[in-house]
Amino acid sequence: MKGNVYIETTIPSYYFEEREHPQFQRQITREWWVNEKENYYLYTSEVVFAELESGEYPHKKEIITLLSDLPRLEVNEEIREIVEIYLNNYLMPKRHIGDAFHLALAFYYKMDYLLTWNCEHLANVNKERHIKIVNERCGLATPHIITLLQLVTEKEEEDV
């Protein structure tokens, strides 16, 4: 059964990454996009497009094109209210409001996974309990917040 996956900004940006340091993330992102993405229902949002369009990326046009066919989750007043709750409960620093929007969108639309390379603010096990507590208070389901390393299809072993 295919799961619903919210793709946030770091995934397409790492697909076209040129810096030396994150070569591993670039390689994993490209391999996952080619070999795994068809196993899931992928979604993104206008927040992702706004972050991509306002950022300085060497391959901005290609990054935006990579996501252009994905359905976009809409930001509504309820999501804005959830973002305020997240900020007021210190789930995200106010200067990283985009990350609060990614959380709110994934949770509001009941995604199975929020897919990210952002391990500081999103895929951070040290924040997981706090996120779950705040979401329970809001009546929101908490999807798995994971990196691409955790969202791969299990391969059957070949007989030797």
Instruction: Supply the CATH number for residue 39's domain.
Output: 3.40.50.1010
Q: Specify if 157 maps to a domain.
A: no
Q: Specify if 75 maps to a domain.
A: yes
**First CA to last CA distance, the chain:** 29
132 vs 128: CA distance, rounded Å: 6
What per-residue confidence (pLDDT) applies to 80?
96
Domain tally, the chain:
1
Mean pLDDT of 149-160: 68
What per-residue confidence (pLDDT) applies to 91?
87
Q: Identify the bridge partners of residue 146 per DSSP, sorted by sequence position.
A: 115
Per the structure, the complete domain to which residue 51 belongs is given by 3-150
Q: For the whole model, what pTM was predicted? A: 0.89
What per-residue confidence (pLDDT) applies to 131?
92
Q: Specify if 85 maps to a domain.
A: yes
What per-residue confidence (pLDDT) applies to 98?
93
14 vs 10: CA distance, rounded Å: 6
Q: Specify if 159 maps to a domain.
A: no
Two structure tokens written together for 6? 């919210």
What per-residue confidence (pLDDT) applies to 79?
96
Two structure tokens written together for 157? 């072993």
Q: Specify if 20 maps to a domain.
A: yes
Q: Specify if 111 maps to a domain.
A: yes
**Secondary structure (3-state) at 7:** strand
Q: Specify if 64 maps to a domain.
A: yes
Q: Specify if 103 maps to a domain.
A: yes
* Segment 76-125, tens digit of pLDDT: 999 999 999 999 999 888 888 999 999 999 999 999 999 999 888 888 88
Radius of gyration of the chain (CA): 16
What per-residue confidence (pLDDT) applies to 158?
57
What per-residue confidence (pLDDT) applies to 57?
76
